[in-house]
């Protein structure tokens, strides 16, 4: 294409490519035509042949003087950096945080001083146990790490989608992670906690019981990053201009509500699309459906902390929202994917100790250990103390210090003085007024290795969490624990866990024991303090009780065939998209179908590659001829049977009934099946979808 006829899009792409190929202010090498940039070495030398190494003759040996090959293979050999020990499987996006109101009464943190101000942000979601190449829908904690580039330095809220943790003291962190990772003698299982080592550790660590209830719940298999909460986990402090302290806990609430998948569904999603969560976030942002969360804070003073039933410094405890309602203080919007995954998402470095003035730490022993540990992590992974020079980690506010040199230094102090105080009047100085100050908390005690007695109740909040779940969710917890313990070869481990469960809920312990074939129940595990049974249920802890009010952000898979009713299909698509949801067509062939009125429609999936587990609800818009063919296809029958088994809402045209019957689903089985016969039925289907699942069906389905 000549310069005269080149499209604006192509011209933009060319400029972008040239920008990427330019070095630090260097000129861009071009071919004689000037249209295509010339390939160069990293030193900028143009390359004449990138297809062949330099040889002696056509079939002779390669020459060591081939510096282009040497440089290319050298860089390739060193492309990989050590993956994270935990949270290796991650995905990130750019966005911004918008402050709702001034919080100057509680904190002098600049980000909370002006209503409506937007602060750049980068967020990384992740699993914990699996390697970088594991699948997205492992049963696991999800990392929810937020980097806010404030005007007074980077603030990292390095949290999870679960508000508590397995351990109370950071010295046990290597142990819990060692136990959940692949067993060292056999190096499996990958991205699974269903094995002896993990449950051996847990069964010997009563403080983990609250966390186990969360991890065995549906919180550990979220439908999407967009539909899960995030928690700062620990208790932090706000400090205002008068250095007055207010305790604070951070919670991210998704605008689209909470949603998870069923375990049987998660297993099949991992087979059909191991990048399910990544693809969901990518597609949402690329289509302009920007994910959004509200940042809520639980604020309390020392008097509240002293009167609360549990120690606010214990990371295995929560403050129920019914006791201390979260206060919305801003919103987080993700609106841009990284230009390069490695450059940004893989190299981003989150650290709990990254806080701006006005944010301070509590004495939570797990938080204290994280603050100490994270620098070592970044040095090991990124190879240099200069990891803050990487653009994704660099502050976006002015900064100045005397740190210098080291591997891969990209900036250093200018001038004569690289220390202070100095006589030359050079360089930055302390700023007592604006600088970071810690809360002046009086401390008195004996130096000792101990665990406070206020951390001793390991079962009461675990019981509260279980009692706060709906009957459906309680069933899922029991099924999850049973499955995981069934994979343990040592029966002693199973019995120890049942003994703990009996302290949480006797019926839960008995049900798990029965499924595991434990004929005689063990006595309940010894407790340091008697578990309480007077804690009220907290509806905020249930996913089902906190579902969305609309079907927005979800996805409907429509199974179609040649000759189907195009007018009805168009009405269905229009209604779903108006709701803010997405429609994707599944057809016998990925090339698409031709409707009864002759319209060709491309399909996003062929039936072999588009199982119903990928969608939140499904519709069958088929012709009489098409259904006869699909009824013979196992994948089509599975499409319907799985949607029914996973309690999804199913719409169908009258012509699709034979496929329902071949899948073992009666057209009038329950209210979750909606016959599509006109616009009124389309509206009825969409109204049903807002409930997400027909949980009443689950008891009738044996998975």
CATH of the domain at 612: 3.40.50.880
The model's confidence at residue 435, banded by pLDDT at 50, 70 and 90, is: very high
The Cα 614–Cα 173 span in angstroms is: 35
Query: Tell me, what's the pLDDT at 95?
Result: 98
**Are 75 and 120 found together in one domain?**
no
- Of 368, 235, 379, nearest to 310 (Cα)? 235
**Are 27 and 160 found together in one domain?**
no
What phi, psi does 294 have (nearest 5°)? -100, 135
**Neighbour tally for 95: CB within 10 Å:** 23
Distance of CA 235 to the CA centre of its chain: 22
**Neighbour tally for 311: CB within 10 Å:** 19
Domain end among 359, 389, 419: 389
**Are 564 and 639 found together in one domain?**
yes
Residue 294 lies in a domain: yes
The Cα 335–Cα 281 span in angstroms is: 10
Residue 334: strand pairing partners: 95
Residue 478 lies in a domain: no
**Are 154 and 41 found together in one domain?**
no
Residue 454 lies in a domain: no
Q: Cα(first)–Cα(last) distance of the chain, in Å?
A: 58
Antiparallel, parallel or unpaired: β 153-160 and 292-300: unpaired
The Cα 511–Cα 521 span in angstroms is: 10
Looking up residue 154, the CATH number of its domain turns out to be 2.40.180.10
Is residue 19 pLDDT above 70, yes or no? no
What phi, psi does 617 have (nearest 5°)? -155, 160
**Are 228 and 264 found together in one domain?**
yes
The mean pLDDT of 50-69, rounded to a whole number, is 94
Domain count, the chain: 3
**Are 37 and 97 found together in one domain?**
no
What confidence tens digit (pLDDT) does each residue in 245-280 have?
Answer: 999 999 999 999 999 999 999 999 999 999 999 999
Query: Tell me, what's the pLDDT at 698?
Result: 93
Determine which of 23-32, 131-140, 547-556 has the lowest per-residue pLDDT on average.
Answer: 23-32
E strands, 322-417, in order: 327-336, 359-361
**Are 149 and 281 found together in one domain?**
yes
Antiparallel, parallel or unpaired: β 555-560 and 600-601: unpaired
What confidence tens digit (pLDDT) does each residue in 121-136 have?
Answer: 999 999 999 999 999 9
Question: Rounded to the nearest 10 degrees, how much is the dihedral formed by the CA atoms of 102, 105, 108, 113?
Answer: 10
- Of 659, 579, 668, nearest to 619 (Cα)? 659
Catalytic residue among 87, 277, 500, 646: 87
DSSP assigned state of 339: S
Burial of 400-421, coded b for 16+ CB within 10 Å and e otherwise, reads eeeeeeeeeeeeebeeeeeeee
Domain end among 79, 101, 119: 79
Residue 524 lies in a domain: no
Q: 224: which residues sit within 8 A by CB, 6+ positions away?
A: 259, 277, 280, 281, 553
**Are 22 and 137 found together in one domain?**
no
Q: Is 157 exposed, middle or buried (0-12, 13-18, 19+ CB in 10 A)?
A: buried
**Are 244 and 351 found together in one domain?**
yes
Burial of 519-535, coded b for 16+ CB within 10 Å and e otherwise, reads eeebebbeeeeebeeeb
Domain that holds residue 591: 551-700
The model's confidence at residue 138, banded by pLDDT at 50, 70 and 90, is: very high
Distance of CA 300 to the CA centre of its chain: 28
The Cα 512–Cα 256 span in angstroms is: 34
Residue 638 lies in a domain: yes
**Are 142 and 28 found together in one domain?**
no
Domain end among 341, 372, 389: 389
Catalytic residue among 68, 94, 154, 160: 160
Is residue 421 pLDDT above 80, yes or no? yes
Question: Rounded to the nearest 10 degrees, how much is the dihedral formed by the CA atoms of 571, 577, 580, 581?
Answer: 100
The mean pLDDT of 167-190, rounded to a whole number, is 97
Residue 123 lies in a domain: yes
Q: Which residue has the tokens 């009934």?
A: 657
For residue 326, the SS3 value is: coil
- Of 315, 309, 311, 312, nearest to 172 (Cα)? 315
> Residue 476 catalytic?
no
- Of 374, 127, 364, 371, nearest to 233 (Cα)? 364
Burial of 487-503, coded b for 16+ CB within 10 Å and e otherwise, reads ebeeeebbbbbbbbbbb
* Percent residues over pLDDT 70 in the chain: 95
Residue 606 lies in a domain: yes
- Of 19, 52, 17, 50, nearest to 36 (Cα)? 17
Asked if residue 639 lies in contact with residue 692, where contact means CB atoms within 8 angstroms, the answer is: no
Residue 221: strand pairing partners: none
The Cα 466–Cα 217 span in angstroms is: 9
Helix (H) or strand (E) holding 507: helix 506-515
Question: Rounded to the nearest 10 degrees, how much is the dihedral formed by the CA atoms of 234, 239, 240, 242?
Answer: 150
Asked if residue 154 lies in contact with residue 148, where contact means CB atoms within 8 angstroms, the answer is: yes
**Are 145 and 231 found together in one domain?**
yes
What confidence tens digit (pLDDT) does each residue in 635-692 have?
Answer: 999 999 999 999 999 999 999 999 999 999 999 999 999 999 988 999 999 999 999 9
Query: Tell me, what's the pLDDT at 35?
Result: 81
Query: Tell me, what's the pLDDT at 33?
Result: 52
Longest dimension (CA), the chain: 91
Query: Tell me, what's the pLDDT at 703?
Result: 57
CA angle, residues 279, 274, 91, in degrees to nearest 5: 50
Residue 430 lies in a domain: no
- Of 213, 215, 196, nearest to 204 (Cα)? 196
The mean pLDDT of 570-592, rounded to a whole number, is 96
Tokens of 377: 């992590």
**Are 2 and 100 found together in one domain?**
no
Asked if residue 461 lies in contact with residue 318, where contact means CB atoms within 8 angstroms, the answer is: yes
> Residue 160 catalytic?
yes
Query: Tell me, what's the pLDDT at 556?
Result: 98
Tokens of 356: 């701006």
Query: Tell me, what's the pLDDT at 176?
Result: 98
The pTM of this model reads 0.92
């Amino acid at each position: 294409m000549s310069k005269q006829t080149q499209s604006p899009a192509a011209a933009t792409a060319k400029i972008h490519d040239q920008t990427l190929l330019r070095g630090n202010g260097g000129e861009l090498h071009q071919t004689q035509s000037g249209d295509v940039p010339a390939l160069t070495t990293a030193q900028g030398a143009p390359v004449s042949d990138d297809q062949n190494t330099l040889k002696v003759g056509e079939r002779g040996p390669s020459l060591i003087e081939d510096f282009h090959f040497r440089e290319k293979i050298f860089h390739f050999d060193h492309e990989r950096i050590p993956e994270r020990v935990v949270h290796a499987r991650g995905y990130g996006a750019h966005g911004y945080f918008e402050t709702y109101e001034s919080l100057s009464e509680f904190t002098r943190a600049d980000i909370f001083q002006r209503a409506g101000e937007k602060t750049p942000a980068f967020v990384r979601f992740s699993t914990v146990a699996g390697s970088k190449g594991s699948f997205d829908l492992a049963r696991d904690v999800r990392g929810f790490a937020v980097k806010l580039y404030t005007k007074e330095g980077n603030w990292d809220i390095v949290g999870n989608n679960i508000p508590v943790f397995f351990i109370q003291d950071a010295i046990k962190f290597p142990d819990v992670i060692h136990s959940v990772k692949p067993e060292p003698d056999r190096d499996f299982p990958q991205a699974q906690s269903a094995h002896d080592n993990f449950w051996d550790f847990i069964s010997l660590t009563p403080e983990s019981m609250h966390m186990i209830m969360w991890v065995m719940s549906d919180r550990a298999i979220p439908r999407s990053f967009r539909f899960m909460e995030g928690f700062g986990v620990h208790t932090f402090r706000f400090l205002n201009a008068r250095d007055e302290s207010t305790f604070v806990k951070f919670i991210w609430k998704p605008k689209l509500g909470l949603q998870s998948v069923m375990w049987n569904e998660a297993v099949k999603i991992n087979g059909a699309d191991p990048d399910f969560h990544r693809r969901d976030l990518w597609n949402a942002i690329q289509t302009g459906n920007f994910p959004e969360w509200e940042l809520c804070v639980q604020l309390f003073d020392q008097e509240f902390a002293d009167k609360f039933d549990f120690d606010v410094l214990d990371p295995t405890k929560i403050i129920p929202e019914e006791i201390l309602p979260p206060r919305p203080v801003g919103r987080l919007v993700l609106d841009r994917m990284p230009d390069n995954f490695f450059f940004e998402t893989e190299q981003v470095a989150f650290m709990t100790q990254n806080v701006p003035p006005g944010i301070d730490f509590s004495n939570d022993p797990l938080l204290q250990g994280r603050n100490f540990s994270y620098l070592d992590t970044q040095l090991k992974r990124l190879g240099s103390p200069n990891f803050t020079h990487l653009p994704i980690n660099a502050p976006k506010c002015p900064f100045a210090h005397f740190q210098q040199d080291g591997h891969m230094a990209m900036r250093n102090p200018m001038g004569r003085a690289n220390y202070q105080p100095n006589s030359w009047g050079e360089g930055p100085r302390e700023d007592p007024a604006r600088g970071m100050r810690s809360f002046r908390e009086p401390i008195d005690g004996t130096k000792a290795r101990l665990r406070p007695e206020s951390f001793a109740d390991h079962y009461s909040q675990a019981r509260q969490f279980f009692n706060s779940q709906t009957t459906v969710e309680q069933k899922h917890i029991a099924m999850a624990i049973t499955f995981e313990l069934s994979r343990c070869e040592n029966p002693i481990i199973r019995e120890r866990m049942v003994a703990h469960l009996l302290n949480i809920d006797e019926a839960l312990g008995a049900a798990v024991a029965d499924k595991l074939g434990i004929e005689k129940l063990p006595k309940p595990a010894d407790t340091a303090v008697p578990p309480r049974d007077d804690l009220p249920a907290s509806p905020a802890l249930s996913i089902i009780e906190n579902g969305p009010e609309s079907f927005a952000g979800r996805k409907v898979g429509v199974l179609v065939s040649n000759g189907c009713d195009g007018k009805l299909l168009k009405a269905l698509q229009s209604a779903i998209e108006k709701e803010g949801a997405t429609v994707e067509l599944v057809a016998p062939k990925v090339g698409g179908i031709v409707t009864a009125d002759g319209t060709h429609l491309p399909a996003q999936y062929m039936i072999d590659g588009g199982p119903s587990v990928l969608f939140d609800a499904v519709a069958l818009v088929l012709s009489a001829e098409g259904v006869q063919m699909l009824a013979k296809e196992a994948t089509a029958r599975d499409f319907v049977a799985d949607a029914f088994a996973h309690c999804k809402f199913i719409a169908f045209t009258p012509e699709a009934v034979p496929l329902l019957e071949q899948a073992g689903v009666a057209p009038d089985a329950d209210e979750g099946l909606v016959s599509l016969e006109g616009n009124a039925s389309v509206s009825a289907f969409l109204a049903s979808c807002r409930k997400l699942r027909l949980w009443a069906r689950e008891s009738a389905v044996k998975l």
